[in-house]
Amino acid sequence: MSLLSAPPNTTGRATSQHVGVGPSEVIRIDPRDFITSPYEDCPACGARDGLGLLSVTATGYRKRCRACMADQSRELPRLAPKRILYLDQMAISNLLKSTLPRHRAKFTEDNPATQFGYWPKLLDRLEHLVHLNLLACPRSSIHDLESAFNDRLSGSLRSFHEQLAADVKLGHHEMVQRFQLEAACRGWLSGEAAEPLERGAVVNGTLDGWLDRFIVNAYHPVIPEELEALRANRELLSERWQDSFERWCERGPLAFETLLCEEEAGYGPGLAKQPFSSDVMIGLRAQMEQHGIPQAQWTTQIQAFLHSEAPACTDFARITASMIAALAWRAGRRQLGKPTRGLTADLRAIASYLPYVDAMFLDNECARMLRESPLNESLPYNTQIFSVESRDELFDWLTDVADEAPQGHVELVERVYGPRWLEPRRHDMTRA
């Protein structure tokens, strides 16, 4: 367990704004540039096709006349919560590359290396459902870390992912682990069962709200020193996985239950070795204070909690222990290849987000483990698991998502955003 448990115009008149971008270059922005189709006649001034779409909020939309600049606000019905699909970094990378001029030729229907044109088709389907306000494919802190390692596409990966995220983001994976531990600590201190962490504490965004047409995000590139440290840490974890793999192979086949008990038993004690200033320890000290524990007893009580059975009952611990036990079980039977560099990211994503999303698209190895015995009997979650090997099943699931839309929903979306909103986009990210 130590592999994963060890150590953010009020007048309405049409005016033009000039924004200086250089010593000799000026960009002219007219307020009318933000008014788009669908158009209709303006009830205020009578201008034919003057009233266009200005903005969409979670609960309504605003139209503005290009002639008189009069506004009109309209309400929209609350939506059923969007379905959440977690796409791993490999999927996001392939989806992006299928749009780039220098990579696009590899993603044709006659190329088996890119699944016979699967990725452009998947992108069209995903964007269609996102624009229908039925689906979100949110970004996470794990995506951000993995994107940092791709020097050429780091910024493009983030920006591209925002187009599929539907203004939804998953909480930082370390915070998910910390919040679950704090809930377990509260239960341990009160002698009661820990309350499960609600989806709203992990999924950030309005799942039942309508999307605006514009995406605004800020991207701060990782500085070279940070990137170097991230690379060094990834190499260290990769070496640890290799050592564990060799040890598992040497031990030979063991019962899955035996391996699972070993991993669960090591989770809390592994966390107990974290420094006093770590987020985990800070959070646990806060729980001690809130429960009126004298400060002189905090360290003793925290150690007692971490060496109890309570930490291993959290979702993060249960999933992590089960995944590592499944890896060891397969390695002991010579059914597992050598771990890849991305294994840590894959396991952290699964452990952090599996209980809070509707479906996950993962690499073949992880997906196979989750779908097959003994792991599928150990983790009581209803999350749908897909991979390249089961890519057609993902299309079936997305079809079901579309079929769940209420009657008249597509027509309402077209009336709000215009019919072109649902047309497949032909990406050309030439600067990426």
Residue partners of 376: CB distance under 8 A and separation at least 6:
370
Is this model's pTM higher than 0.85 or not?
A: yes
Query: In the predicted model, what is the mean pLDDT of residues 194-219?
Result: 89
In this prediction, residue 341 has a pLDDT band, given cuts at 50, 70 and 90, of confident
Question: Counting beta carbons within 10 angstroms of the beta carbon of residue 70, is it exposed (0 to 12), middle (13 to 18) or buried (19 or more)?
Answer: middle
Cis peptide before 374 (omega within 30 of 0): yes
Per-residue pLDDT tens for 362-414?
Answer: 999 999 999 998 998 889 899 999 999 999 999 999 999 999 999 999 999 99
Per-residue pLDDT tens for 239-287?
Answer: 999 999 999 999 999 999 999 999 999 999 999 999 999 999 999 999 9
C-alpha separations of 383 from 133, 175, 297 in Å: 20, 21, 41
Confidence (pLDDT) at 180:
97
Domains of the chain, by residue range, sit at: 1-7+79-432, 17-75
Query: In the predicted model, what is the mean pLDDT of residues 160-187?
Result: 96
Q: Which amino acid is at 279?
A: D
What does the block give as tokens for 361?
A: 């698209």
Q: Which amino acid is at 293?
A: I
> Is a pLDDT exceeding 60 seen at residue 21?
no
